[in-house]
Amino acid sequence: MELLLAVIAGVLYSTGIYLMLRRRLAQLIIGLGLLSNGTNILILSAAGVTRGKPPLITPITTRADQFADPVPQSLILTAIVIGFGVLAFALVLAHRVRRSTGSDDIDTIGPDRV
């Protein structure tokens, strides 16, 4: 399971960074989305995967091997919320760039003088 998650995280990172290096804004944003999902999977697998156990301590699950570590899950939850907000902002920005310049190619949007 860890191996599979590690491979998925690696694939998401590499495709994310590849897309961020492209010239179009839409690809930049998709790349950012993939990158943040890759990070979430990495947090999950780096902290150790526990299968089929809740991240809760109840009267019957008190030993450490009976519940999953809740911290990485809450970190991922926070990261998803932040990532969602930021991605929404990036989309609006791209939309505005597209509307005011008629293009989403970074080379043609560039500042008129450097």
Where along the sequence are the contacts to other proteins (CB under 8 A)? 16, 20, 25, 28, 32, 35-36, 39, 42-43, 45-48, 69, 71-72, 75, 78-79, 82, 85-86, 89-90, 93-94, 96-97, 100-101, 109-112
SS3 24: strand
Give whichever of 36 and 68 is closer to other proteins, judged by the CB atom: 36
CB of 68 to other proteins, least distance (A): 13
Q: Are 10 and 75 in contact (CB under 8 A)?
A: no
24 beta partners = 105
CB of 35 to other proteins, least distance (A): 5
How many CB atoms are closer than 10 A to CB 38? 20
Rounded Cα distance between 43 and 26, Å, is 26
Q: At what angle do helices 25-46 and 2-20 cross, to 10 degrees?
A: 160
Give whichever of 53 and 96 is closer to other proteins, judged by the CB atom: 96
Q: Are 8 and 16 in contact (CB under 8 A)?
A: no
Give whichever of 8 and 90 is closer to other proteins, judged by the CB atom: 90
CB of 98 to other proteins, least distance (A): 10
Q: Are 12 and 48 in contact (CB under 8 A)?
A: no
CB of 62 to other proteins, least distance (A): 17
Give whichever of 39 and 50 is closer to other proteins, judged by the CB atom: 39
